[in-house]
Amino acid sequence: MILRNVKIEDAAQIAELYNFYVKNTHHTFETEPLNVSEMQKRIAEISENYPYLVAENDDEILAYAYAAKYKSRLAYQHSVEVSVYVKNNVQQKGIGTELYEKLFDELSQKDIHAIIAGVALPNEASIRLHEKFGFEKIAHFREVGFKFGRWIDVSYWEMIQNQR
């Protein structure tokens, strides 16, 4: 398995991987699958300024992780929100951990202070992953999403790096 920067040509596989979560889980609040052109647009926008990584084995994208702008107001410029998605059939094999390690290493080289992650609940695997990297739970919003006929809570997790 290799970890590398995303390429626009990865969009079809990334969309397929992500759309599993859109269609089958509450882990994303999107309710309609993304087409390849929308994923290409998102990849281009994010990877222009932030790390966007994939884990690949034999030309198959097994997972991806990225950091993105947290909010648009200038005072947030030193904060990012991170996400990681692992292909459904290869979860719990350490791939998300490896991607996050590389992502956080790249972020440590940038002027980033706060790293934020949202977790739709329940999701014990995601909580364990973020705790492994030293994230602390900083917020819990009750019933902020509605998907699959039920209300979903979201927790927010934060890790501070590069003290200013």
Instruction: Provide the residue ranges of all domains of the chain, joining segments of one domain with +.
Output: 2-160
According to the model, what pLDDT value does residue 163 have?
52
CB 151, CB 29: distance < 8 Å? no
DSSP state of 120: E
34: left (phi over 0), alpha (psi -120 to 50) or beta: beta
Average predicted confidence (pLDDT) for the chain:
95
CATH annotation of 2-160: 3.40.630.30
The helix/strand/coil state of 152 is strand
For residues 69 and 162, the model is more confident at 69
Q: Which residues contact 85 (CB under 8 A, 6 or more apart)?
A: 17, 18, 21, 63, 64, 65
According to the model, what pLDDT value does residue 164 have?
43
Is the confidence at residue 1, as pLDDT, over 60?
Answer: yes
